[in-house]
Amino acid sequence: MSLFSNRGVLSSDYVPARLPFRDDQTNEVAEVLSPILHDSKPSNLLLYGKTGTGKTAVVRYVLSELRASTKTDKKDLIIAYVNTRNADTVYGVLAEFAGFLDLPEEDRIPFTGLSIAEVMKRIFRHIKSNRLHVIFVMDEIDHLVREEDGGDILYQFTRSGDRLTPGFITLVGISNDLQFKENLDSRVLSSLGEEELVFPPYTVDELRQILTERARSAFRPSVASPAAINLCAAMAGSEHGDARRAIDLLRIAGEVAEREGLKEIDDGCIRRASDKMEVDRVDEAIRSLPVQNKAILFAVSRFDGGTNTGELYIAYSSLCKKLGIETLTQRRLSGILGDLDLLGLVEASVVSKGRRGRTKKIQLLMGKDTLEKTLSEDPMFGAL
Ligand code: ADP
Ligand code: MG
């Protein structure tokens, strides 16, 4: 018999009926957007905070309340939600947005083929001529900003007022990356951030209460004890109070317990679940590296017990020849090593070598097998 009574409650896109500890944020988002109910344009709004602090959940919750409080025959109100990371490209974001607008047949946006300018023209024309009142939520907007043309598109949206009247678009940007504002044109920032809201990390105690509530509907009785929930909250909260991580940890611990034929989740399940999440995180981080970073990581793995910059550069250079890719300078290699260090994939620390000066000691932070297995999925590295 399964330990779960409703596993879906622990899935990442589940929006609970209540969001404890987020009343202030929920009220504020609702208040900023409420003018739309009286046909006037709400201010643009920017939300930011680290991952798992409830940004997406709060916004989705408010959007569904808004939808519920407007009459179904009200066709000029459009609420569009796009996750710009999932939509991948600027074109993809616009096409997904256009999907909410019900463009006339001849103006539909095909999967590919139009210029960005043409897509924008069709969207704006449609909003203007149908006097649409639009709320456009761009979740994980920092990804859009990093795309080529992403910043430019945002600029056009924030300056779109005259081109849209009597229709309008209110923009809601959500970012997990607190630094993303630095990459934004200051004019875009001041417009997008007419209203700003910061989501603080949850405390361990808040995580504990959130988990307790979820566990009640997710598991059969006595599967997730208070002690198990405490441990999940404490482990997930040790970096920053990330509710997603806490919920994932509890779900995976439940899966581990189930697979091992246990009746309840014990400490061992939770630790094994945490290890598994770490392995998955590392895998995912490796997979999404650019080819040069992969090559450098692979070169590091050729040295059991660590290496130094000079030795590594020689190994890296010959690897580049084998792969047929450009060989970067030693300086660039050092920069990329810093990135790999930040991702927790290598440790690159400066060590003193007495009179011979200082050098870097560089070490792989995962098993060589793990790295080789994940890299071999990339056709470029498969042959090695
Ligand atoms: P963010 O968008 O800030 O990264 P999410 O809104 O996706 O975070 O939240 C991550 C997970 O934690 C989701 O499953 C969400 O339902 C849950 N969650 C976040 N805040 C709360 C809360 N206050 N109460 C209950 N569940 C929450
Ligand atoms: Mg989110």
Per-residue pLDDT at 356: 66
Q: Is the CB of 244 under 6 A from ligand 1?
A: yes
Residue 301 binned pLDDT confidence (cut-offs 50, 70, 90) = very high
User: Average pLDDT, stretch 62-76?
Assistant: 86
Q: Is the CB of 122 under 6 A from ligand 1?
A: no
> Based on the domain organization, do 118 and 148 belong to the same domain?
yes
pLDDT digits (tens, 9 = 90+) for 129-167: 999 999 999 999 998 988 888 989 999 999 998 889 999
pLDDT reading at 331 higher than 70? yes
Amino acid at 58: V
> Based on the domain organization, do 158 and 47 belong to the same domain?
yes
In a domain, 127, yes or no: yes
Q: Which residue's alpha carbon is nearest to atom 1 within ligand 1? A: 52
> Based on the domain organization, do 48 and 127 belong to the same domain?
yes
Domain boundary among 250, 269, 285: 285
Kindly give the pairing relationship between strand 45-48 and strand 168-175: parallel
C-alpha to C-alpha distance for 196 and 44, rounded to whole angstroms? 9
> Based on the domain organization, do 330 and 376 belong to the same domain?
yes
C-alpha to C-alpha distance for 57 and 180, rounded to whole angstroms? 21
Residue 17 binned pLDDT confidence (cut-offs 50, 70, 90) = confident
User: Do 188 and 151 contact (CB within 8 A), yes or no?
Assistant: yes
C-alpha to C-alpha distance for 78 and 130, rounded to whole angstroms? 11
Q: Is the CB of 12 under 6 A from ligand 1?
A: yes
More confident residue, 343 or 292: 292
Locate the ligand 1 atom nearest the alpha carbon of residue 139 and give its number: 2
User: Do 142 and 192 contact (CB within 8 A), yes or no?
Assistant: no
Structural domain of 28: 23-198
In a domain, 16, yes or no: no
pLDDT digits (tens, 9 = 90+) for 189-213: 999 999 999 999 999 999 999 999 9
Q: Is the CB of 268 under 6 A from ligand 1?
A: no
pLDDT reading at 353 higher than 80? no
> Based on the domain organization, do 166 and 315 belong to the same domain?
no
Domain boundary among 198, 218, 249: 198
User: Which residues, including other chains, have CB under 8 Å from residue 5's CB and lie 6 or more apart?
Assistant: 217, 218, 219, 220
Number of domains present in the structure of the chain: 3
For residue 379, whether the previous peptide bond is cis, meaning omega lies within 30 degrees of 0, is no
Q: Which ligand is nearest to the CA of 83?
A: 2
In a domain, 2, yes or no: no
Pocket test for ligand 1, best of 210, 211, 229, 239 (most atoms within 8 A of CB): 210
> Based on the domain organization, do 250 and 311 belong to the same domain?
no
> Based on the domain organization, do 116 and 262 belong to the same domain?
no
Domain boundary among 159, 179, 198: 198
CATH number at residue 207: 1.10.8.60
Kindly give the pairing relationship between strand 358-364 and strand 346-352: antiparallel
Q: Is the CB of 84 under 6 A from ligand 1?
A: no
C-alpha to C-alpha distance for 15 and 250, rounded to whole angstroms? 17
In a domain, 17, yes or no: no
* Mean of all residue pLDDT scores within the chain: 92
C-alpha to C-alpha distance for 328 and 26, rounded to whole angstroms? 49
In a domain, 150, yes or no: yes
Q: Which residue's alpha carbon is nearest to atom 11 within ligand 1? A: 244
